[in-house]
Each structure stands twice: as C-alpha cells, then as structure tokens.
Amino acid sequence: MKVLVIGAGNMGLAYAKALVKSEFLSSHNLMISDTDAQKTEELKKVSRFDVFTNLEDCLPVADIIFIAVKPYHSEDLFKEIKHLMTKDQLVISIMAGVTIQSMKDGLGITKVVRAMPNLPAQVGKGLTSFTASDEVSRLELSTVENLLNTTGKSVRLDTENDIDASTGISGSGPAYVFYFMQSMMDAAKKMGFSEHDSKVLVSQTFEGAVELFNKSDLSPQSWMNRVASKGGTTRAALDSMEDNNVKQLIEEAAYAAFDRAVELGK
C-alpha cells in the first residue's frame, strides 16, 4: 500500500510524520507533495519519506491519497489531478467544508473519505472524525481508521452534517481551550504571578483535570460538584460563570463554528 499526502502544511506534515512512524507503512511507501520548492527541498534533507513537487511523479502510483490543502485551493487542485486519478484510488480529505460529492465530481472518482482532524494531531493526541462515501468498503474503512489513528483517535460518523457538527466541537475545540487558558493566565498575572508561573499554574491544572476526567466514569458536572463546596471559593467562581451565562456563550461559539462549516460546504 502506497500513501500520498498532498500538502506539507501543519496537518499534512502531522499525518506524514505519524504515518511513517507507524507499523502500517515503510518509509518508501509514504510520499508527500507540495508546490513550495523550498519546503520540499528542506523535507528531502530531513524526512523519512519520499518528497515530490510534481504530482505526476507520485499520484499515479498511490493507493490512498490524503488531500491536506486549504479548501480554497481545492478546485484548482482537482482540475490539475483529475486526469491522473483512477477509479481504484481512495481519497481522504481533511479540507474543511469540501463535500464528498464535490470531490467525486471534481476528481471523477467514487471512493472518498471526508475527515476533520484537530491540531493536537501534531503531538499524537488528535481527534479525527470521518465519514465515507458508500463505495468505500468495510476493509478500506478499517484501513482508513488505522491510518487516522496514527495521530491519536478517530470516530466514524454517519453523515457529513455530523462532520460539520464535529468541526464546532473537536475541530475548532482546541482554540476554545486555549482561549480559556489565556484568560486564566491573564487573571493569574493580574494577581501578581510571573508569566512562567502563570503558565505552569494553568497548564498543570488543565492537564490534571483532563486526566481525572479520562480515568473515571464521572461527568464534568459530577466533578464540579465534588470540587465546589457550598460557600467555598470554587462555588464563588462557578456562580460567577453562571451569572454571566458563560455556558450559553460557549455553546453559541460551538454553533457558530458549526454554522460556518455548513456555509463553507455550500
């Protein structure tokens, strides 16, 4: 099995590096292509995979093709490579908002997987949601899942609407966490802590809370109830968030990302 990654940006490289370290591919079965000649020359010096600038030299021999370019480049890319595609090739797209049907039409193929990864894929802690066209077999879906799992975990969803919804939760979600972390760090610095101590206080608090959550069956609400005693400091903070409708604002932010993903698909 030969895999080609088109696009050596953050996510494309994250998948290429994870795939080449996995048990599924040897170094010569993983190819990556990018139009930036300087970037490809740098990759050739340090990579464990084959690097190309010309898609004609690599795409025809690929069994599975990851498309990791910006969505607004998709139409031009489809026009460039359609004549190189074959009906047996399987495409995995991580382009936000680009529909399965538009890829089928644009590439002249039927086997398409639409995936939505998130940024922690770069450190092997990503979450990738995906759905597939009906023409993708069960065996191929299993292969796709194994490949996606090299960057963390994956979850198969039923519809493209579910992919758009997952964009509002996991796809864009790391930014919400960073927003909350930044706000807590800013508060810590106003209280007199240094930049370094503020970062340690906040990052370790987040890491510890996630670890507690992952290693138990308790819901976030249950953990809040355990931490927040009546009349205590945590209850004062939670009451302030409730009074300021923070929960509702977070939900509205997630839906804003969801709605934008749907809009991009049109």
Same structural domain for residues 151 and 57?
yes
Identify the pLDDT of residue 217: 96
The verdict on whether residue 69 carries a ligand-binding annotation is yes
Residue 251 domain boundaries: 173-265
Same structural domain for residues 109 and 74?
yes
Identify the pLDDT of residue 258: 92
Residue 163 lies in a domain: no
Checking if the pLDDT of 264 tops 90, the result is: no
Give residue-wise pLDDT tens across range 109-161.
999 999 999 999 999 999 999 999 999 999 999 999 999 999 999 999 999 99
The total domain count for the chain is 2
The verdict on whether residue 9 carries a ligand-binding annotation is yes
Under the phi-then-psi rule, with left for phi > 0, alpha for psi from -120 to 50, and beta for the rest, what region is 109? beta
Secondary structure class of 194 (helix, strand, coil): coil
Residue 76 belongs to domain with CATH number = 3.40.50.720
Identify the pLDDT of residue 27: 63
Same structural domain for residues 246 and 180?
yes
How confident is the prediction for the chain on average, in pLDDT? 93
The verdict on whether residue 11 carries a ligand-binding annotation is yes
Same structural domain for residues 127 and 209?
no
The verdict on whether residue 220 carries a ligand-binding annotation is no
Identify the pLDDT of residue 28: 76
**Of the residues 158, 182, 215, which one is the last residue of a structural domain?**
158
Same structural domain for residues 153 and 178?
no
**Of the residues 94, 128, 158, which one is the last residue of a structural domain?**
158
- Is residue 140 within 8 A of residue 111, CB to CB? The reply is yes
Identify the pLDDT of residue 261: 85
Checking if the pLDDT of 78 tops 80, the result is: yes
Residue 164 lies in a domain: no
Same structural domain for residues 146 and 189?
no
Checking if the pLDDT of 46 tops 90, the result is: no
The verdict on whether residue 1 carries a ligand-binding annotation is no
Give residue-wise pLDDT tens across range 161-194.
999 999 999 999 999 999 999 999 999 999 999 9
Q: At what angle do helices 233-243 and 246-265 cross, to 10 degrees?
A: 50
The verdict on whether residue 85 carries a ligand-binding annotation is no
Same structural domain for residues 194 and 115?
no
Query: In 3D, which of 17, 123, 122, 113 has the Cα closest to residue 66?
Result: 113
